Amino acid sequence: MSTTFQLDTATSRANPTPAPMRRLTVPAIRARKQDGVTEEPIVMLTAYTARQAQLLDAHCDMLLVGDSLGQVIYGLPSTIPVTMRMMADHAAAVVRGSYHAVVVVDMPFGSYEASPQQAFDSAAMLLKESGAAAVKLEGGEAMAETVAFLNSRGIPVVGHVGLTPQAVNVLGGYGARGRSDAEAEKIVGDARALCDAGACAIVVEGVVEPIAIAVTSAVSCPTIGIGASARCDGQVLVTEDMLGMFERVPRFVKRYDDIAANIASAAEHYAKEVRDRSFPGAEQTYQPK
């Protein structure tokens, strides 16, 4: 078992179950793509808590502790206000709850853009405090020097091109990218620059499908699509989106369940039983012997 901390399974709800397997590694993920072909697509979902990680771990190759937690967990209007402390604490929880998937943690806005040294200091803190295996940062060619700096110092980096949510104020919104020839050319060039700098994988978000296909063909490292193309080397979604936790989700999300309705129904049932005093019943109370 490769969780960061041992938990008392007799007293804690968060009890990762040991399994006779080793955690996947960054090189193993990188090696999925050989000669431009990925026979087994990479499965990635977001995770923010230990219990969520437990439920997703066996089915995923990678778990992303995304800065999307700012919106999903904290109700923030964007990812911009997310802090290093948030990312480190949630990443540590996900590592504790998993034993199979590679855990990747987002570097929040303002923690890496100033210089490669700033990025190293931030990434080192995140990995040391959480036990995650890699960091993810947004940006293309402008971040290539930083990616190379981190990679050469033992920090694996997942890149992120196309729609980059941390740049929403510059982009002017969350619309799909790559509709103009110039923007499409830049996205492909950004991906090449990141791959050449040593990125172990690249998230391609919110781009028109032909550009996602072009990016995947242009780089030797795996691409992980989100609002991109099934021809990417893997896929990632925000777990709460695909589970139907929110009323509004991006166009590219497929809902695999309606967990929000299930939770609301259970809460309604509970409230009814509390009000008519049918809960707690004999099975939920302690009686004198």
Cα separation, 82 vs 204, in Å, equals 21
pLDDT band per the 50, 70, 90 thresholds, residue 250: confident
Cα separation, 82 vs 69, in Å, equals 8
- Model confidence, pTM: 0.90
What is the reported pLDDT for 2?
Answer: 43
For residue 41, the SS3 value is coil
Nearest residue to 236 (alpha-carbon basis) of 80, 63, 40, 108: 63
- CA angle, 112 then 113 then 115, to 5°: 80
Using a pLDDT cut of 90, give the percent of the chain over it.
83
CA Rg value for the chain: 21
What is the reported pLDDT for 237?
Answer: 98
Question: What are the pLDDT digits (tens) for 39-52?
Answer: 999 999 999 999 99
pLDDT above 80: residue 176: no
Asked if 61 and 30 touch (Cβ cutoff 8 Å), the reply is no
What is the reported pLDDT for 63?
Answer: 98
Average pLDDT, the chain: 91
What is the reported pLDDT for 3?
Answer: 44
Average pLDDT (248-271) is 95
Cα separation, 122 vs 181, in Å, equals 35
Q: Is 67 annotated as a binding residue?
A: yes
Q: Where are the beta strands (DSSP E) in 10-155?
A: 33-34, 37-38, 42-46, 62-65, 102-106, 134-136
Q: For this structure, is 209 an active site residue?
A: no
CATH, domain range 26-260: 3.20.20.60
Question: What are the pLDDT digits (tens) for 181-236?
Answer: 888 899 999 999 999 999 999 999 999 999 999 999 999 999 999 999 999 999 99
Question: What are the pLDDT digits (tens) for 260-276?
Answer: 999 999 999 999 999 99
Q: Is 8 annotated as a binding residue?
A: no
Q: Is 61 annotated as a binding residue?
A: no
For the chain, what are the domain ranges?
26-260
Cα separation, 210 vs 162, in Å, equals 13
Q: Which long-range contacts (CB under 8 A, 24 or more apart) does 248-257 make?
A: 250/174, 250/206, 251/227, 252/206, 252/226, 252/227, 252/228
Q: Which of 113, 141, 185, 205 is catalytic?
A: 205
Question: What are the pLDDT digits (tens) for 115-164?
Answer: 999 999 999 999 999 999 999 999 999 999 999 999 999 999 999 999 87
For residue 204, the SS3 value is strand
Q: Is 68 annotated as a binding residue?
A: yes
pLDDT above 60: residue 5: no
For residue 234, the SS3 value is strand
Asked if 64 and 136 touch (Cβ cutoff 8 Å), the reply is yes
